[in-house]
């Protein structure tokens, strides 16, 4: 499978997906730590991909997403944004509403 197909499949197959450096329990950068913490505080399960152990994804996701930085949060196939957007949405309550709404909807 082509790496772009792999990325597309990951995004389509996971309702809430965070591309990050490390894992939610062991983030490898401050931005990934803040983003995963905000997401965990919303109380919904989410998938993640450690881009440090997936160099092809790390190299190609910015082209696929047209978004140059990590972490990247995807909800229901749509790019939400990076750390600043995630933490701002968490602070004002929008992130919890978004992920709860996505988690409540049945898979298509």
Looking at residue 49, the DSSP 8-state letter turns out to be: E
63 is in an annotated binding site: no
| Three-class SS state of 21 | coil
Looking at residue 51, the DSSP 8-state letter turns out to be: T
Distance CA 2, CA 13 (A): 16
84 is in an annotated binding site: yes
46 is in an annotated binding site: no
29 is in an annotated binding site: yes
Cα 100-58-19 angle, rounded to 5 deg: 10
Handedness of CA 103, 71, 35, 25 (dihedral sign): positive
Facing residues of 27 across strands?
Answer: 22
Instruction: Enumerate the known binding-site residues.
Output: 21, 29, 58, 70, 83-84
Instruction: Enumerate the known binding-site residues for [2Fe-2S] cluster.
Output: 29
Instruction: Enumerate the known binding-site residues for glutathione.
Output: 21, 58, 70, 83-84
């Amino acid at each position: 499978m082509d790496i772009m197909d792999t990325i597309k499949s990951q995004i389509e197959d996971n309702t809430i997906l965070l591309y990050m450096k490390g894992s939610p329990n062991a983030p490898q950068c401050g931005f990934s730590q803040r983003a995963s913490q905000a997401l965990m505080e919303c109380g919904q399960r989410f998938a993640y991909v450690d881009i440090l152990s997936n160099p092809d994804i790390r190299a190609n996701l910015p082209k696929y997403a047209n978004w140059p930085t990590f972490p990247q949060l995807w909800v229901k196939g749509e790019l939400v944004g990076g750390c600043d957007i995630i933490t701002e949405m968490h602070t004002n309550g929008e992130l919890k509403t978004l992920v709860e709404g996505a988690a409540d909807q049945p898979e298509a």
